[in-house]
Amino acid sequence: MSQAQAPDALQTLTPESVAQWLAQHPDFFVGREGLLQQLRVPHPDTEGTVSLLERLVLDLRKRAEGAEWRLEQLLDSARHNESQYRRTRELVLGLLEAENNDALSQALATQLSERFRTQSVALWCAPSLTDDEPTAPQPPRFVLDDAAGARLGALLDGRASRCRRLSRKDWQLLLPHIEPPRKAGSCALTRLTLGEPLGYLILASHDTEHFRASLDTLFTEYLGEVVARLLVHHTRSR
């Protein structure tokens, strides 16, 4: 009877069942160390086989290298975040020192150029922010008119902010104080609001890939919120 059952038992033996049995009997190799030394497994990187112990060493080394790589990635990310925080802090502090809206727009362009290598900036302000000013706004600050407002609204396409390509024609309309690119550039746009529409902020580059559409706009939105509050503050304090 046992001889008749033996072939069936062998047929039901699978790698999964062997693995399950070994997991349930972790002491199987106790006293059978010679068997461990005889076991050969495929090499993970080259042809041929290695001993089980060598394979374990290779696997552990790979795990250690992977952990080291992930740690380095985390450190790089931390260093980048710290640098970004410091530059953003210095940018905001520089904006806070501006005494009026023209000085604010100049500080914005200077700080973004020096700390974030932003090539061009334009700040389009609603007429309500400029009505009582004794002189006309100076670039990069402009009074928002119907043509610029319509085009900026179309470029945002219902969003609060976005990154996208900027045609030469749009550049000439929206950044008239800066020489346009030969064909097209790119920009980050954000709408300025504080209970009411206040205008638009544009960061632009001649490089079409600098402000790619896939980029996150969190920084631009944050900067827009700071600028909007400072515009209102300077307007009310006149």
Domain containing residue 177: CATH number: 3.30.450.40
Same domain for 180 and 82, yes or no, is no
Same domain for 70 and 110, yes or no, is no
Of the candidates 119, 99, 100, 101, the residue with the CA atom closest to the CA atom of residue 109: 119
Total domains in the fold of the chain: 2
- Number of neighbouring beta carbons within 10 Å of residue 107: 18
- Residue 2 confidence (pLDDT): 46
Q: Where among 48, 68, 96 does a domain terminate?
A: 96
Phi, psi for residue 208 in degrees, rounded to 5: -70, -20
Helical (H) or strand (E) element with 152: helix 146-156
Euclidean distance between CA atoms 163 and 229, whole angstroms: 22
- Residue 133 confidence (pLDDT): 86
Same domain for 210 and 137, yes or no, is yes
Q: Block means of pLDDT (10 residues each) for the chain, length 238 residues?
A: 48 78 82 72 72 78 90 92 94 96 96 95 96 90 97 97 97 97 97 96 97 95 97 91
Does the reported pTM lie above 0.85? no
Q: Determine contact, residues 174/151, Cβ cutoff 8 Å.
A: yes
Same domain for 151 and 67, yes or no, is no
Domain coverage including residue 49: 29-96
Structure tokens of 101? 């809206």
Of the candidates 235, 188, 193, 194, the residue with the CA atom closest to the CA atom of residue 211: 188
Same domain for 145 and 91, yes or no, is no
Is 56 a domain residue?
yes
Is 22 a domain residue?
no
Is 86 a domain residue?
yes
Is 11 a domain residue?
no
Same domain for 87 and 112, yes or no, is no
Q: End-to-end CA distance of the chain, in Å? A: 105
Is 232 a domain residue?
yes
Same domain for 107 and 208, yes or no, is yes
Is 65 a domain residue?
yes
- Residue 4 confidence (pLDDT): 47
Euclidean distance between CA atoms 202 and 179, whole angstroms: 15
Helical (H) or strand (E) element with 220: helix 218-236
